[in-house]
Amino acid sequence: MHELSLTQSIVELAIEYARRENAEAIRSVTVEIGALSGVSDDAVAFAFDVCSKGTMADGARLVILHTAGRGRCLACHEESELSTLTHTCPRCGGLALETVQGQEMKFTELEVD
């Protein structure tokens, strides 16, 4: 459940940015979560309700955008889509791929009043 501490950071960041803009309320919060980040959407959504309760983010809509995973084969350098970290290169069958995309966990924007 490291999603709880991640979500706590989402709420803290949202409030920090909203205050800086002299906003009255936070209407929505958008985050980007990579397919290989090891973070579960459901756990973030659940934790968001808990963490935002009683704060100016209470009731805000949480939007989760997904980034697909991509890996590069260390043998033939072909890039392919990765849905897990255990993947076979579709071109040469190599088992060793380095991740080039999909490990992001980013707070992208928020909407305030």
Partner 1 sequence: MCIDCGCSSLPGNAHQHDHKHAEKNSRTIRVEEDLLAKNNRLAINNRIRFAAEQLLVLNLVSSPGSGKTSLLERTLIDLKNKFDFAVLEGDQQTSNDADRIAATGVPVKQINTGTGCHLDAHMVGHGVDDFDLPATDILMIENVGNLVCPASFDLGEDHKVVVLSVTEGEDKPLKYPQMFQAAELMLINKIDLLPYLRFDLQQCKAFARQVNPRIEIIELSCHSGEGMTAWYDWLHAGVERKRRQA
Binding site for partner 1 (CB under 8 A): 1-2, 5-6, 9-10, 12-13, 17-18, 21, 23-25, 27, 31, 36-39, 59, 74, 84-86, 95-96, 98-99, 104-113
**Smallest distance, Å, CB 56 to partner 1?**
13
Q: Which is nearer to partner 1, 59 or 90 (CB)?
A: 59
**Smallest distance, Å, CB 44 to partner 1?**
9
3-state SS assignment for residue 45: helix
Phi then psi for 42, rounded to 5 degrees? -60, -40
Residue type, 68: A
Query: Which helix (DSSP H) or strand (DSSP E) does residue 13 occupy?
Result: helix 3-20
d(CA 81, CA 59): 36
Is 84 exposed, middle or buried, given 0-12, 13-18 or 19+ CB atoms closer than 10 A?
exposed
**Smallest distance, Å, CB 79 to partner 1?**
16
**Smallest distance, Å, CB 113 to partner 1?**
5
Q: Which is nearer to partner 1, 5 or 66 (CB)?
A: 5
